[in-house]
Amino acid sequence: MKRFTNRQEAGRALAARLADLPWHDPLVLGLPRGGVPVAKEIAEHLNAELDVVVARKIGAPGHPEYGVGAVTADSEPIYDPRVLRALNLTEEQLGRTCDEERAEARRRTTLYRGDRPLVVRDRDVILVDDGLATGVTARAALHWIAQRAPRSVTLAVPVAARESLDTFRTRVVAVLTPKRFQAVSRWYESFDQTTDEEVLSALSKWDTTGNGE
């Protein structure tokens, strides 16, 4: 199965899938940091507004890279109950980690967005990441979006694990759904870490009407 050269190529491939769907006042929200370069390509292709929603993974004790939940700057955390049961964990045990990740989500939200208004109500929202593994951070972001009364919500990713797709009620658009997923990075030839500077650069090229400069 073909791999993407980089996030920009992945974004263009995903944009081609989304272009055939009808959109009402579309808002493209990238998940920082890796989802933003992908989202930028989609926003340009759809002539849509580009912005971000920050969700932070809540890692398992001693294994922070293994997400058991996620949280945004100002919403309650979302946990995967199956993972909690498997690891014999409770939400209360993860309270401190959750608070730390919420604080980091607030810091990054302020860094990326400042006090710029974000209007979600009655708009078609496209949430974008560079890939979908467990889907826990995307789920927290979708919960944040749903609280703000969008017209519709679509999760768009270049590549997704098939077992994760079945757990979403939200419409998901994916270009690749490999049988052996393993990791998001496997499906990119170049998967360098996206920097804060790249996120800010992408956002700075958008005005409040959704048009790039």
Q: What is the pLDDT of residues 92-145, one digit of tens each?
A: 999 999 999 999 999 999 999 998 889 999 999 999 999 999 899 999 999 999
Q: Is the model's pLDDT at 61 over the cut of 70?
A: yes
pLDDT in the model for residue 101: 96
pLDDT in the model for residue 206: 66
pLDDT in the model for residue 66: 85
Helices (H), the chain: 7-18, 35-46, 81-87, 95-113, 136-146, 162-165, 196-204
